Structure 1
Amino acid sequence: MALETKPWDVAEHLPDEAAIAAYIEAVIEDGDPALLAAAIGDIARARGMAQIAKETGRSRESLYRALSEKGNPELSTLMAVLKALGLQLSVKLSQG
């Protein structure tokens, strides 16, 4: 009997702000800008891309495109999405 599987989607495993914060912090530590954009996209999908699009004044399609691993969103797009998600960027001194 074949084992049935389905793709794992991180957006289905971000139930609250604590999980979202832990996820985004881990991604930022990695230092990959493409991964950061994709992670913000994952969070937006978890919260509802249609609502994020409405709050940012951008189309869902453009957000899906920009917030993918192959996307290259403008800083204004990232900031608008983060604001709509109730998140903000902060800076701290490097430990190295």
Structure 2
Amino acid sequence: MNKELIPFDLVEYLDNEEAMAEYLSQVLEDGDNDEFLRAIGYLAKAKGMAQIAKETGMGRESLYKAFRPNAKPRFDTVMKVLHALKLQLTAAPQLHQ
């Protein structure tokens, strides 16, 4: 009995603002900077990189480069993309363990 694995594409599940916000919140909670930047790239792909490029005034290729592995995008680039995704970062007191 052969079983074929179906490729998993996270972007397919990021189909609304609530799902996007929950995903990004989980990534932020983990505290991994590289994963955070990768997550923003996934979110931008889910919404449509061309649409994000239009809303940010940036080039589509520039956005792909900014959120590829090991890239170090500027903070203003991150914030422009988050704004285009209709997501915001918020601060809260850290709960002590």
Match of 2:83 in 1: 83
**TM-score, normalised relative to structure 2:** 0.88
**Greater mean alpha carbon deviation, residues 79-88 or residues 59-68:** 59-68
Match of 1:50 in 2: 50
Equivalent residue letter for 2:17: E
1:6 to 1:64, Cα distance in 2 relative to 1, 3 A: farther
CA distance in structure 2 between the partners assigned to 1:87 and 1:26 by the alignment: 14
CA RMSD, Structure 1 to Structure 2 (Å): 1.5
Match of 2:68 in 1: 68
SS of 2:15's partner is coil
Number of aligned positions between the proteins: 96
SS of 2:80's partner is helix
Equivalent residue letter for 2:93: L
Equivalent residue letter for 1:82: L
List 4+ stretches of structure 1 deviating above 3 A: 1-7
Q: Which whole-Å deviations, capped at 9, do the CAs of 1:3-37 have from their partners, x for residues lacking one?
A: 44453221111121221111001100111111111
Residue identity (%): 48
Equivalent residue letter for 1:68: R
Task: After TM superposition, give the deviation of residue 58 of structure 1 in Å.
Answer: 1.1
CA distance in structure 1 between the partners assigned to 2:7 and 2:62 by the alignment: 23
CA distance in structure 1 between the partners assigned to 2:7 and 2:72 by the alignment: 24
Match of 1:37 in 2: 37
Consecutive unaligned residues in structure 2, runs of 5 or more:
none
